[in-house]
Amino acid sequence: MENNIIYHYTSPEGLKAILENRSLRFTNYRFLNDKKEGLCKENDISAKIEELKEKDTNSKGRDFFELLKQQIIDINIDDCLIDKSVSGEYCEIKNDYYVLSLSKELDSLSMWNYYIKNRKYEGYNIGFKLEVLQKIFSKVAKDSKGVKFEDKDINYMNMQDENNEFENIILSFKEQYVRTYSGKMKIVFECRDKILRNYIFSKNNCFRHENEYRFVLMKNRNSEIKEQFYIKNGIITPYIDIPLNDEDVVKAIKSITISPLLEEEIAKKGLEFFLISKGYELYDKKDQTGIRIEKSKCPVRY
């Protein structure tokens, strides 16, 4: 990660929205682009829980697996089922998760491949200073009730290792549940949170080329930040926009790279006009300030 810069690959529409609105979008983890994530992964985990339940001969253990499966697949489980003695812990522990995906790759053909339209690479990537984003989100968490952020590299794993890891987590919490006489639902909530946080920061080895770095927004039921919705590929998709003030934007955005096969001169000129009109500074070589506009160096031919 050169100079501690991470890159957000996006469509032209996404670039315009980020620069115009001065905000970054976190998408609910169930609605991410990768088909092996979200609901697909939730279904895999639910199947694993059911498999463990069928093998367990202890009635308490089977109770644990059933409660955990309900918590995984039901985002709005009836509060009347919750033990009133742990209702506070329930609100604090049971988070929903929203994801901002970035890459440590400055100019990756594999990443540009996600933005091919009509045999053209119609995309951009924005280079962000990592520590500036961390400070921005840390301040949001401090100022907003019921919100936390976590960021780190994606852990790329094969399917068997991933299954083993989830199984170990589930079984360790099950043992706690069986041994305890109070706060049982709290253990179920904590297990759910551990599972979801774990899989949100893990992906199959086939995605290793993305070299992904992820920010995750965790929002519990006490949160003052409310989700919004937009239409994506015909699907109503929940998201949260985190605003960046003018000072944050200046410090955070260091570069914008134009995808291969976009006509460089006119794409760069249009981007310069847009940045200036929105109050951004273009790169000044002498002062080493402002946003540097670059063209992808990936060799592509059709």
pLDDT string in tens for the chain (302-residue length): 667 999 999 999 999 999 999 999 999 988 887 655 655 677 788 888 999 999 999 999 999 999 998 888 765 544 444 555 555 665 666 788 999 999 999 999 999 988 877 667 889 999 999 999 999 999 999 999 899 999 999 999 988 888 889 899 999 999 999 998 888 888 998 998 899 888 899 988 988 999 999 999 999 888 889 899 999 889 999 999 999 998 898 899 999 999 997 888 999 999 999 999 999 999 988 888 899 999 999 887 55
- Tell me if 87 is assigned to some domain: yes
CA distance linking residue 82 with residue 85, whole number of Å: 8
Number of domains in the chain: 1
- Tell me if 89 is assigned to some domain: yes
- Tell me if 130 is assigned to some domain: yes
- Tell me if 301 is assigned to some domain: no
The kind and range of the H/E element at 163 are: helix 159-179
Q: Say if residue 219 is exposed, middle or buried (CB neighbours under 10 Å; 0-12, 13-18, 19+).
A: buried
CA distance linking residue 49 with residue 69, whole number of Å: 6
- Tell me if 290 is assigned to some domain: yes
Give the residue numbers spanning the domain of 230: 2-295
Predicted pLDDT of residue 54: 93
How would you classify residue 276: left for phi > 0, otherwise alpha for psi between -120 and 50, otherwise beta? alpha
Predicted pLDDT of residue 185: 85
Predicted pLDDT of residue 87: 57
Backbone angles phi, psi at 136, to 5 degrees: -60, -50
Angle between the 184-200 and 159-179 helix axes, to the nearest 10 degrees? Answer: 170
* Helix ranges restricted to H, 77-158: 87-93, 109-112, 130-143
Distant-in-sequence, close-in-space partners of 265: CB < 8 Å, separation ≥ 6:
none
The kind and range of the H/E element at 239 are: strand 235-243
Q: How many CA atoms lie within 13 A of 290 on its CB side?
A: 16
- Tell me if 300 is assigned to some domain: no
- Tell me if 287 is assigned to some domain: yes
Contact 123, 13 (CB under 8 A): no
- Tell me if 189 is assigned to some domain: yes
pTM value is: 0.89
